[in-house]
Amino acid sequence: MKRRKNGNKQYFTRMGTRKKVHAFVRVKPTDDFAHEMIRYGDDKRSIDIHLKKDIRRGVVNNQQIDWSFKLDGVLHDASQDLVYETVAKDVVSQALNGYNGNLIN
């Protein structure tokens, strides 16, 4: 901890505490969900997306058709409570204790 002065106030900041950014994806299937396009890793931390090649673009095209993502977690068909417990609970708790926190939806 390092003590700093700001006018008449003194406050403490944590030194040497580095936190990494966590990335999660939540997939909510619908009736017309493209199940054949998405594959989930057995580790529940990776997701692969495959798109069929657009034949209207011609025989020779450089359209990317495969993407792979490694994440901190894949929440497939997860409840709102599970999403909060997994993703937001710690960030909200730390924000209430005065630390910065961000959630991007």
**Residue 73 forms part of a structural domain:** yes
- Report, as an integer, the average pLDDT of 38-61: 84
Number of domains within the chain: 1
Query: Residue 105's pLDDT is what?
Result: 62
**Residue 91 forms part of a structural domain:** yes
Query: Residue 12's pLDDT is what?
Result: 44
53-83 confidence digits (pLDDT tens): 777 877 777 778 899 999 999 998 899 999 9
**Residue 10 forms part of a structural domain:** no
**Residue 82 forms part of a structural domain:** yes
Kindly write down the DSSP assignment for every residue of 17-83, as one continuous string.
Answer: ---PPP-EEEE---TT--GGGEEE-TTSSEEEEE----GGG-SS-----EEEEE-SEEEES--HHHH
**Residue 5 forms part of a structural domain:** no
Query: Residue 4's pLDDT is what?
Result: 46
The whole-chain average pLDDT of the chain stands at: 79
**51 or 25, higher pLDDT:** 25
**Residue 105 forms part of a structural domain:** no
Domain that holds residue 43: 20-53+60-95
